[in-house]
Amino acid sequence: MAIELTKFSNLKITVNAKLPDYKFVKPLISNRNRLEGLPRTDEFARTLRAEVADPLWMLTRQWQLGEFQGEDAGTAYQAKILAEQQQPGLISINEKSSIEYDANHAPLEPLIESEAPDADFYLRVQMGRQFCKFLKEAGLKEFQIHFTDQYPIQTDAHPDDREAIYFTQSIASTFPDGYLLLEDIRNGSYESFVNAIPDISAGAPEILIKQIAPQFEKWYQHLYPESKNDNAWLPNRMEYNFSMELPHPEGRQMVHLEADQYASGKIDWATFDENKRALNTTNPAKDNLTEIVQTFMPTPLQYSGMPNPRFWQMEDSRVDFGKIQTGTSGLLSLLVAEYGLTYSNDWFVLPYEMQANTLCEIKGIMVTDVFGQNILVEPTFKDPEMNWHEFACFRHTERQNLTSPRNRFYLAPSSLKIQQSEPLEKINFMRDEMTNMVWAIESIVPSAAGGNRQIKANAKRFDQSFTPADPEAKIRYLLGTSVPENWIPFVPVHKDASKQEVRLQRARIPNAPIPISKFLTEQPPGKHLIEEEEVPRAGVIVKRMYKRTRWLNGKTYLWIGRSKTTGKGEGWSGLMFDQILSI
C-alpha cells in the first residue's frame, strides 16, 4: 500500500522496552529543511591529521601561488650598526641664561619647572616647629618664647578660607614664623636679634648663630630645593621655554634642541625640535661627539596575536584580524591587517641601547646573511627614489631646511613616573564671543593653611528687588549686569605698532576684588598680557601642583610645576550693558 508524503511525518516506530540490550532510543528525523551536513563528530583525531588525498595537489597549489620562484637571498644572522652620539651639556632657560646639566644628577622636569613654594601657614608652622626642635636638641628650649614673640604668625586669612582660620586659631602663639626667621638669617637681622636677647647666657649666642642657624637653613634646602635658575615659564604663552645646546659644531653654527611650547608636564623626544643658531663662543661646551659600532643578532619581530608560521601550532587569538571593521576608504586598517598577516615575518628587531640625555643618529646598518653577503641599509631619505617624502620614525622636526637632512633621535632624561598632588590652582580660560572677551575662572585657589580650596561663587545678574522712585515707572535702565567674583576678564588690545593683531589684557570688573591665584597676580594688572592664539575656541585649563619623583641616583625631588590642557569649550558670562528691563 502506498503511503502519502503528507502522512510520512505521522509514522512512529515502536520499540520493545523489554529487550535486554535496550539502553536508549535515538530519535528519528522525520523531515529535513537543510541541505548541508552537520560537521560534528565525537573524535577530531582524523581532522587534526590534515590528510591529503593527492599530494600532487599541494605541489600544484604551491606552483600556482609562486612559492617555487626562489630568490637569491638568505636569512640575516648578523647586523652592525654605525651611529653617532653626543650629549647636550648646556641648557638655555628662556633664552636668558645658560646652565650646565648632568643627567646623572637630576631629571629635566624639576630643573625646568621648579619654583619656590608658597609661604602659607602650614609652611611657616612647619619651619617654626623644626627650629624649636633644633633649640630643644641644643638645650636652649627656654629661648623659644623669645623667638615666638619676635616672629609671630599672622592670623589674617580670607573670610571664605575656613580651614586657614581654624588652623591659625589652633596654633596661635605656639611656634614662631619659620619663614620670616629664615629670611632674617639670610639678610643678617637674625644675628642682631640674638645678641639683643635680655639675660642670655654665655655661649648661647654662638650656638644659636653658628650651629642652629646653618642647621636650620640646610634642613630647609634639603626639603624644598630652591632653583637658582631663571624661571622658564612664559606668562604670555602659558608655556615653558628652554633649549638644549649640542656641543658638536656644524660649520659655523650650533644645533639646538628647542622646547618652546612645553606645557604637558611630561618631557619626551617629541617635545624638542631641531634648530640652528650662531656658534657659541662665550661659554662653549666640550665636544663629545663619538662614533659607535654595535653588533647584534637580528631577532624576528613578534607581537601579541601574531599568526604562527607552522600549521599545527595553536594561536592565542589575542588579536583577531577577522574582526577589523573597515570600509573602502579604511586604507590604514587594511594596511595593518596586510602587514600582520603577510609581511610580519619579514621584520627584525635590533635592540640598540642608549643612555639618557643622548642624541643619536643612525648612519647605516650592515646586514650579513647566511650566504656571507653584506647588505648596507641606509636611512630612507638618503635613497634618491624615496627622498621625495623622507619617511622616518621618531625624527625631530627641523625648523630650518637642511641641505643634508638628519635622522636623529634624542632620549630625554625625563622621569618615568611622577606623583602629582591635588591642584593648588586651577584656572579655566574660556572664550565668551557674546562679550568679545576671555574669562579666567578661578575654580581652585591656594588655601592659606596649605593645600587648596574650591571657589563656587554665584552672583545675580542684577538686583531684582529694585524699587523705582516713581511708583508709576514701568521700565528701568540697567547700566550693566554682574558676574561672579572668581570670573576675571581679559579684554583684547592692539599690539604695539599694529592695527590688526591683538592680545588679551587682564582687566577688572568695577567694584570686584583682585584675583587670588598666583597665575593672575604674578604679573602687574596693566602688563599681564596673553597672546590671543593661546586661548583657542575650546579654551585651556592651567593647573599648578606639587610633583615628586625619584631619580637614578635614588634622590627624591619635590617641586611645584604647571601644566596646560584643553578646556571645556565656549561659554557665556551673562554680562550685558545698557539694558531696558521691565518693572
For every residue of 317-355, DSSP letters joined together read: -SS-GGG----TT-HHHHHHHHIIIIIGGG-EE------
pLDDT in tens, 149-194: 899 988 778 888 888 888 888 887 788 999 999 999 999 899 889 9
Q: pLDDT-based confidence at 1, cuts 50/70/90?
A: very low
Return mean pLDDT, the chain. 82
pLDDT at 468 over 50: yes
Mean pLDDT value of segment 297-304: 83
Q: Which amino acid is at 388?
A: W
Bridge partners (DSSP) listed for residue 56: none
d(CA 523, CA 501): 22
pLDDT in tens, 405-436: 678 899 999 988 899 999 999 999 999 988 88
Mean pLDDT value of segment 17-42: 58
Calculate the alpha carbon distances from 263 to 330, 335, 364 in Å.
Answer: 34, 34, 35
Of 31-35, 258-262, 274-278, which has the strongest mean pLDDT?
Answer: 258-262
d(CA 305, CA 318): 5
Q: What is the dihedral of CA 469, 470, 475, 478, to 10 degrees?
A: -20
Q: pLDDT-based confidence at 302, cuts 50/70/90?
A: confident
Question: What would the 3-class secondary structure string for 138-150 be?
Answer: CCCHHHHHHHHHH
Can you tell me which residue has the cell 573597515? 326
pLDDT in tens, 214-257: 999 999 988 887 776 668 899 999 999 999 988 888 877 888 89
Cβ–Cβ under 8 Å, residues 306 and 340: yes
Cβ–Cβ under 8 Å, residues 86 and 246: yes
Q: Which amino acid is at 572?
A: W
pLDDT at 565 over 70: yes
d(CA 96, CA 231): 10
d(CA 185, CA 176): 14
Cβ–Cβ under 8 Å, residues 358 and 88: no
This prediction has a pTM of 0.76
- Helix, strand, coil abundance in the chain, percent, nearest 5: 20, 25, 50
Q: What is the pLDDT of residue 540?
A: 95
Cβ–Cβ under 8 Å, residues 522 and 235: yes
pLDDT at 3 over 50: no
d(CA 391, CA 117): 46
Cβ–Cβ under 8 Å, residues 103 and 91: no
d(CA 58, CA 295): 41
For every residue of 219-266, DSSP letters joined together read: HHHHHSPPP-SPP-EETTTTEEEEEEE-SS-BTTEEEEEEEEEE-SS-
